[in-house]
Structure 1
């Protein structure tokens, strides 16, 4: 619509660094017309749309029925790049150990950490689960305090600072001789929701307690946010969506009056002064797979890399014993625990995990569920499809029709899901729309997998019923709809 195009131009003008960063070759008018036609919302629901069964485009992989369904390399890679993928996989699964160690290629863990490997949180490349026992990896606790410097070039940035003792993230494990930062206590209270057919769905409202703080009390104004490890599905394809196509769905002032006010999460890039669109993380805090990977290595495992070169990870100056602990930096790797070449292999792995093919997209319940999904207005945030940019170096991710079901924008999700912790441009009530592809395989890969940012939802229906804020009308429609339509909606989601 004309107003939305004007808004995109205004957003690009407001963030010149983001608009001027390296991007795709502009599409010709003919290409733009083709893209607009193929990404238009479905108008009929008696059969699948062309190519709908291949949500990852040419790189879509066969749907497996085992726990490795989300761990396959994207289709069509050359033999050399698939070998790189397997080396990256080994790095993803590596169990790091404390330094000094005889296994010098694997030392550098911590000194404070949440997990010993990427795999421990992202079980088989899927989503994590709330801890069944203290210390179980998969759920992290972010922390910050109000204040801090503004971010030049980023409008509406909400300034926060790390806790002066505990940093940006609480680590619940530590190397020998150091105290862990805390122990998480988690309690759930039941919250019944009556559905139209007389049945009652029971939601779980979590309460978190920071027990046994290892370095004294948290700051009096500390703000906490639990974060579940998300699935790794299709990250390289999300990175390949043209920025303008994402901004085209932004409507921060709800100019069209539909109640949906998506906002972009602009964040600093790797280069000083660079501003990029945030695409990854629950609040869009990272703009690229590379930055997201390096940040997780540092904060979650305590591994240094070219982007986060300190060996002590998230330890603050007040934690002198942590900073004085030995690191695993290798002089042959520039003093880093993971050098640039190894980081590139790990990023290659993360970018190229294949999106599984849809299951039964032509089934009658799935098609009816898709119609319900559209008619309920879910596609206002969960935008079904895009065409990726032209990427000569990544041909299977170049100019592909993909179906992630996300606008990658920030939305107010209501008080029930609020963490009351701002993160960049995101307020304490806002979350980035998570992609839905692969979500139907989440509990096949990890039977204990939870949904939403903290895993509180045990099923897709529970996840829908937690929606509020901008999505309150859609949630209420799901509660009120006939049970067969609700069942069809869930069948559609399980097919993704």
Structure 2
């Protein structure tokens, strides 16, 4: 255990020794008057290839949806086949093309939840077709170690239904304002949401636990899957052995494909271990489309959602594999303005207030069946671990080893292009943060010190930090 801790410390230090030397100078030289114009700022050019050889250099609305440029012609063909299926909209059965939606569901296509392969915005009408949905469970642990499904509702609430069927429920949200005051006197009003169900088709257990979700970007997923379990565990510090107030732990989850417990990588609580399972889960839970992995529709055995057709699976194994391959091989957008002085200063501040202890800038991929994503140095800004984010973000719902306060560190690559690609800046698991500043102010728990340090930054320092984040 000491070896892992020691190797982790060394690895995170030497990935850019010059950067940390400059960070020390920056911290010890800055005065309260911000007279740091003579400090030698670091070069960030080594971070330009955020996705290694899969990096794309677009700053348009297609920045999140371009094939990795290093794909072979064969793999590019498979990627494009998956792209076509990712955009396929499903309709009511029977239909010659894309039949089988529902009978109860949340949306009709992959791209509807992940527009332009990016981040779904919070819907203006919460029950409209969108990338928003509610996970659900009741207290306890299921046989597979995961959450316990809600009787008559399952693990996800479907608020849509085909003709002749009734949705499980409609969503409702109410907000409580919370005011945060920054050091320069700026007041930020956060809106804390509280979600509930109305118009349920049957009564809901009083013990039901709800957890909101917005669909995140899908680029770079293959690279994250290719990070070795060993390298992820190097950053785990469950008992806070180094005393920095930040622990981090891996989630371990059941994979129905391998019938084994594996390290969790995907989902807001790292509750899925592979992209293939994630795709099958989305087809099933979001669209009611069955596969060879998940053969039952979302309403199976329920009075409002069992069509009894017995015609599954509704998409072939080839299609599911194509979609998973597509998600693995989308190129990662490069950062921008890395030679800008404000961005460089922001990068130093990002380190100095400990944001980088969870949003670790650099990791490496191991060997993958897709050679193009093997052995790449990437700058995703994540440790792939769970962290206690405090009561403010808690959903009070466990998910395998993740408790109600714990969430996986989200990658930050591409965050500054969200407005360009998706036309909004709704961040965090349910879009409650309407910009990066609000997202930081929602941090608590292990991130409380970083949040408070952010609040205490001067106006200029805060602007520089945000410049850096928006460059990613």
- TM (normalized to structure 1)? 0.87
User: Contact between 1:47 and 1:362, CA under 8 Å: does it hold in 2?
Assistant: no
CA drift at 1:288: 0.7
| Off by >4 Å, runs of 4+ in structure 1 | 6-9, 33-37
Q: 1:450 aligns with which of 378, 401, 426?
A: 426
Partner of 1:232: 218
User: Contact between 1:239 and 1:289, CA under 8 Å: does it hold in 2?
Assistant: yes
Partner of 1:60: 55
Q: 2:398 aligns with which of 417, 422, 425?
A: 422
Q: 2:80 aligns with which of 76, 86, 90?
A: 86
Aligned-pair Cα RMSD in Å = 2.1
Q: For the residues of structure 1 that align with 2:17 and 2:251, how far apart are their CA atoms?
A: 24
Partner of 1:24: none
User: Contact between 2:5 and 2:235, CA under 8 Å: does it hold in 1?
Assistant: no
1:343 aligns with 2:320: yes
Partner of 1:163: 150
1:138 aligns with 2:121: no
User: Contact between 1:139 and 1:229, CA under 8 Å: does it hold in 2?
Assistant: yes
Unpaired stretches in structure 1, ≥5 consecutive residues: 10-32, 152-156, 330-334
Of residues 129-138 and 44-53 in structure 1, the stretch that sits farther from structure 2 once superposed is 44-53
Could you say if the C-alpha distance between residues 406 and 119 of structure 1 is closer, same or farther in structure 2, counting changes exceeding 3 Å?
A: same
Count of matched residue pairs: 452
Q: For the residues of structure 1 that align with 2:309 and 2:100, how far apart are their CA atoms?
A: 8
Could you say if the C-alpha distance between residues 445 and 6 of structure 1 is closer, same or farther in structure 2, counting changes exceeding 3 Å?
A: closer
Q: For the residues of structure 2 that align with 1:162 and 1:270, how far apart are their CA atoms?
A: 16
Partner of 1:115: 107
Of residues 48-57 and 357-366 in structure 1, the stretch that sits farther from structure 2 once superposed is 48-57
SS of corresponding position for 2:461: helix
**Cα deviation digits, residues 383-431 of structure 1 (max 9, x gap):** 111111133x423211111001001111110010000011111001110
User: Contact between 1:39 and 1:387, CA under 8 Å: does it hold in 2?
Assistant: no
**Cα deviation digits, residues 407-457 of structure 1 (max 9, x gap):** 111111001000001111100111011111011111211123410010000
Q: For the residues of structure 1 that align with 2:106 and 2:340, how far apart are their CA atoms?
A: 42
1:488 aligns with 2:464: yes
User: Contact between 1:305 and 1:339, CA under 8 Å: does it hold in 2?
Assistant: yes
Partner of 1:387: 364
Q: 1:307 aligns with which of 282, 286, 293?
A: 293
Q: For the residues of structure 2 that align with 1:466 and 1:41, how far apart are their CA atoms?
A: 32
SS of corresponding position for 2:333: coil
Q: How does 1:329-408 map to 2 (within 5 A)?
A: 329=311, 335-391=312-368, 393-408=369-384
User: Contact between 2:237 and 2:247, CA under 8 Å: does it hold in 1?
Assistant: yes
1:459 aligns with 2:451: no
Partner of 2:196: 209
User: Contact between 1:63 and 1:358, CA under 8 Å: does it hold in 2?
Assistant: no
Q: For the residues of structure 2 that align with 1:233 and 1:398, how far apart are their CA atoms?
A: 16
Q: For the residues of structure 2 that align with 1:404 and 1:73, how far apart are their CA atoms?
A: 17
**Cα deviation digits, residues 242-278 of structure 1 (max 9, x gap):** 1111100001111110000101001112345412110
User: Contact between 2:212 and 2:429, CA under 8 Å: does it hold in 1?
Assistant: yes
CA drift at 1:201: 1.2
CA drift at 1:105: 3.1
Q: For the residues of structure 2 that align with 1:191 and 1:351, how far apart are their CA atoms?
A: 39
Partner of 1:323: 306
Q: 1:73 aligns with which of 67, 88, 95?
A: 67
**Cα deviation digits, residues 352-393 of structure 1 (max 9, x gap):** 1110111111210110000000000011111111111133x4
Partner of 1:263: 249
User: Contact between 2:103 and 2:307, CA under 8 Å: does it hold in 1?
Assistant: no
Q: For the residues of structure 1 that align with 2:237 and 2:103, how far apart are their CA atoms?
A: 44
Could you say if the C-alpha distance between residues 72 and 41 of structure 1 is closer, same or farther in structure 2, counting changes exceeding 3 Å?
A: farther
SS of corresponding position for 2:47: coil
SS of corresponding position for 1:324: coil
Partner of 1:18: none
User: Contact between 1:237 and 1:351, CA under 8 Å: does it hold in 2?
Assistant: yes
SS of corresponding position for 2:138: strand
- TM (normalized to structure 2)? 0.91
Of residues 159-168 and 294-303 in structure 1, the stretch that sits farther from structure 2 once superposed is 159-168
SS of corresponding position for 2:58: coil
